[in-house]
Amino acid sequence: MKPRVERDYAIDRKRQAILGHSLGGLFVLQTLFTRPQTFQTYVAGNPSIHWNPRLIREQEDWFRIYAEQVDEKLNLLITAGELEGAHPSRMTENTRALYERLVLLPKDALQVACKEFEGEGHVSVLPGLIKPGIAAHVTDMKPSEARLLLPVAFLARL
């Protein structure tokens, strides 16, 4: 998908973001951890870390080594809905734990933020996730470019 967008549209290759929710959020984390040079901003909404926590931890460990050796700054926003705290998947707990580990990385390598959406669940968090995820990265977007955002954001969920 990314090569096609780069081929068909005039884009700034130094300002690219990816946003995903649930399994799409897991995909965002895996992309950050295994191919960190692909985007500059990563938004992982309610990432399904519980699907394979061991693999994510291994990928995170590799990324930690990478982040300490390069001088490019990446941005990550990780989110969870408050109402997911009691769910057996431990989604909120996994998200907080990941944030607490990643925040220890050098700030010049990874700027990480974590947001818990008060009173929101797994699905109801979507509107709140998309708005800050996009606004943080595309504040100077032209209206004609906006049509690309929604399809690309939701493709990450597939």
- Positions annotated as catalytic residues are 22, 84, 122
Residue type, 23: L
List 24's β-bridge partners, or say none. Answer: none
Tokens of 103: 């925040």
Contact 5, 16 (CB under 8 A): no
108 C-beta neighbours (distance < 10 Å), count: 11
CA 117 to centroid of chain Cα atoms: 15
CA–CA distance, 93 with 81 (Å, rounded to integer): 11
- Torsion sign across C-alpha atoms 91, 97, 103, 109: negative
User: Do 102 and 74 contact (CB within 8 A), yes or no?
Assistant: no
Please say whether the beta carbons of 157 and 21 come within 8 A: yes
